[in-house]
Every structure is written in C-alpha cells, then in structure tokens.
Amino acid sequence: MSTPQQEELKKQPQFVREGKESRYSAGIRLLIQRFESLRDLIDRVVGSSSSRTAITAFILVITFFSIMLSLPIASQDGHRVELQHAVFTATSAVTVTGLTTVSTAEQWTFFGQLMILLGSQIGGLGTLTLTSILALAVGRKLGLRSRIITQESMNIGRLGEVGSVLRTVAVTSIVIEGTIALVLIPRFLLLGESLGQGVWHGIFYAVSSFNNAGFTPHSDGIVPYGHDLWILIPISLGVVIGSVGFPVILVLQQNLVVFSRWNLNAKLTVIGTLVLFVAGSFAWGALEWNNNKTIGELSVADKVLNATFASIMTRSGGFNLVDMNDITPVTALLTDLLMFIGGGSASTAGGIKITTITVVFLAILAEARGDQFVVAFGRTIPDTVLRIAISVIMMSATFVFIGTAAIMLMSGASLQRSLFEVISAYATCGLSTGLSAELPNSGVYLLSVLMLIGRVGTITVATGLAMRSRRRLYKFPEERPIIG
C-alpha cells in the first residue's frame, strides 16, 4: 500500500520523480504553486464561483501593474506618474484595450513599456488560463477545479477539450507572435532603427497585435507606416488571428479545408468575421472616399488599403492610420457599431462577440420566415443560447448608455465623442478621439471600470446565465403580450 508521500510523488512530472528537475523547471513549478495558492485564497474570499474568481484575478493583476507603473523607474522624467494615469494604463493593458491618457512612447521608459507589454500578454491570454498553461508546460495534470475554471473563463464547449485548447493557446501565441516579430524586426532595422530598437519594436507590435491591445511604442503610432505593407500586413494578420478565438483556431488546425467538420461555433465565427470584414471595408471606404481630411487625396490603391485596415482594426485591433476626429459622423457611427460587435468568443478581441450578434440575427430571420426553431448549418440553436445572447446585448447597451451619459456630464464633450470613447473602452478596442486624455480624474476612473467590465463582464454574465437553471414543478398559463 502506497504512502501519501509516494502518491504525491507519482503526480509529479517524470523528470521531477527522477530527481532531474532543473532550476528553471523548479522555478516554474514554484510559480504555479504560488498562483494556485493565490487562487485558493481568492476562492475562500469571494466564494467558489469561477466568474468571481476571474474578476478578482483581473483586479489583482491590474493592481500589480498599476503599482509597477507608479514607480519612478517607469517614467521618462524619473518621477512618479499621477495615480489615475497609472491605473488607467494598467487597466487598458490588462484588458487589452489600448486607450491611453499619456503617450506610451513619451511617458514610459523601457521598464514601463515592458510592464504594459506583459500586462497585455497576461490580459490577452487570461490570468487563469496562463496559470493552467504553465502547469501543462511542466507536465502537471490539471485538476477538475482547474479544468472547470478554464472551461468557463474561455467558453470551451466540453470539459475534455480544456487540455487541447490550452495547448493550442500556448503554441499559437508563441508561433504567431514569434513569426510577426521575426518579420517586423528586419523592416525596422532597414528603416534606420538600431538593433535594440528594432528588436524591441518588433516584439512589441507582435504581442500588441496578436492580443488586440493596440499599444504602440512610437509617438506617432503606425501612421508614418501607412504605405508600408511590410509592417501593415503582419500587424493585420496578428489582429485577425487573435480575434477569431482559440477554440476556432483549434478547429481550423484539425480540419482547415473540410468545412463540414467544423463545429457550429467555428462556422458562425469565421463566416461572421468575413461578412463584417467585407461589409466594413466597403462601407468605411465609401463613406471616407472623398473626405480630404482622411483618405480623399490618396490614390485608389491607398484608399482601398486604408479601408481594409480600418475594417480590421475597428473590431478590436485599435491601431489607426487616420485621425479619428477627422472621420465623418456617419463613419464614426459605423465604427461604433463594429467596435460594439467585436471579435470571436474566447479570443483576445472585445465587444459582445460575433456569435452573439449572429445568433440574434438568425433568430430574427427565423421569426420572419415563421420557423419554429432557430437553425444554422443543420443544427438547432437552443432557446437558452438565444436568451443569453439577448441578455448580453441588452446589458452591454445599458452599460454603454450609462457610461456615455456620465462622460458627457463629467466632461461636457459631445455625444459623438463621448459615445465613441465609451464604446471603445467597453469593447476593449482602443481607437480614440483623444477624449480619454482630456477627461477629469472621475472620467478616467469611469473608463477604467468600463474597460474591466467589457473584458470580463459579458463573458461572466453569459457564463453565469448559462450555469443557472431554476426548475419549477409547475408552469403558469401562457399569454401573449402585444409586441411591436
């Protein structure tokens, strides 16, 4: 009969059992244990709800990076930055938004920019997801509790898929970010940057684009590279891949060319992404075609390039080639819509998610046709999914409405600028008219809260609603109210 010590040893990776654990592996294992201890502490404080655990973890990570950015070593002038700027930047990084109240290039030192980049990487993958990935990296098996938390935080369909999705997250992140960096670094070097600057900028844009963070280490952003396909294409591809969601990437890796073998989530996400990309490119280009303040004076090829780039970035990327204050009011409204929709579920993108709006659209279509059920690609979508989608849309719209009204009262800004900034914050997009930097402290903290809610709120609400199921032993008589 095995002793408790022997049973514990059997759970360890082989290289640990054989006494061959390296310092690196031991360090990672210790880090995992600290994370798990912290998670257990959070569970005891906030309860066993994975939703509350995720929110608490995000708040703790934001607090940590706020402290790091408050240090004198993080600021170019060697003085502590004002608290609201540190909190806002940390929140923007961890929620992978990209909004700023101070210039990333001019305010923050290399240490400060490194903290922003680490915050974006952790926020893009998710704190709980990152812990699970580290556990798998050193050969540890995920317990049931870890699997359930990861499943709910990433909206994974089946519990058995957690391990494969986590491996896909780790491999995809490393490969995509590494590839983008390797493509961008030579270009920055050819443009005259030093070796250190070129490497740093390549890595920064790789992480920022794949995680849909939208931060840029250049004072003018990527506007000076508006005609450089060598820079624009890798950044765009990084944003697109990061925005479709890791569960979809897993499906594409397994059956890239066999559409019939894709699950419903992958089909809806990919088709929805393509439709929004094409429609957004056409609409944005058409609305700005003759606007001399943006693309009106450019060549046809450059107009098409700008429209295509804008369509990709408005749904969470956050990079821009034109000043958002110069676009027409109708274009601003179109951008608001695309930002509000966002990208795929369990992705680095924000918004209410493509599948959410697609399910509601299919329900409207079914109602118009007189169909009894909502059907897509030979699959019936449960009524509970439709109810969750409607709830997410309505609650998100409510947050945007309240946030916009509050920002208008605090700053006196116009409806167009206030709505644009609030949706960009809530949808974690990062496009800005510059209003964030003009807000009073109360407005800065409000946008910080909206960014946090937008990053974890809709996922948490959707998960919470999906996990709740009240059973009644009776049913009230049906009666149809007048609708419309």
Q: Among all chains, which residue has been given the structure tokens 């049931």?
A: 144
Q: What is the pLDDT, as a whole number, of residue 18? A: 47
Query: What is the per-residue pLDDT for 135?
Result: 45
Confidence of residue 174 (pLDDT cuts 50, 70, 90): confident
Q: Is pLDDT above 70 for 155? A: no
Poorest-confidence range of 20-29, 95-104, 421-430? Answer: 20-29
The predicted pLDDT at position 418 comes to 97
Residue 164 pLDDT:
59
pLDDT at 230 (0 to 100): 95
CA distance 380 to 378: 7
CB 150 within 8 A of CB 129: yes
Read off the pLDDT of residues 56-95 as tens digits, 9 standing for 90 and up: 778 888 999 999 999 999 999 999 999 999 999 999 999 9
Whether pLDDT at 345 is above 90: no
In the structure, what pLDDT confidence band is assigned to residue 146 with cuts at 50, 70 and 90? low
For the chain, give the percent of residues with pLDDT over 70.
77
Q: For residues 198 and 195, give the distance between their C-alpha atoms in angstroms, rounded to a whole number.
A: 5
Both structure tokens of 200: 């740093």
Residue 138 confidence (pLDDT): 40
Query: Model confidence at 173, in pLDDT bands (50, 70, 90)?
Result: confident
Q: Which residues contact 438 (CB under 8 A, 6 or more apart)?
A: 411, 413
For residue 50, pLDDT beyond 80: no
Say what the pTM is: 0.84
Phi, psi of 202, deg, nearest 5: -65, -45
Q: What mean pLDDT value characterizes the chain?
A: 83
Q: Is the model's pLDDT at 27 over the cut of 70?
A: no
- For the segment 463-479, what is each residue's pLDDT rounded down to a tens digit? 555 555 556 677 788 88
Checking if the pLDDT of 131 tops 50, the result is no
pLDDT tens per residue, range 4-15: 555 554 555 444
DSSP 39-79: HHHHHHHH-S-HHHHHHHHHHHHHHHHHHHHHSGGGBTTSS
Residue of higher predicted confidence among 245 and 443: 443
Which residues contact residue 339 at a Cβ distance below 8 angstroms, ignoring those fewer than 6 apart?
314, 315, 316, 350, 351, 423, 424, 427, 429, 431
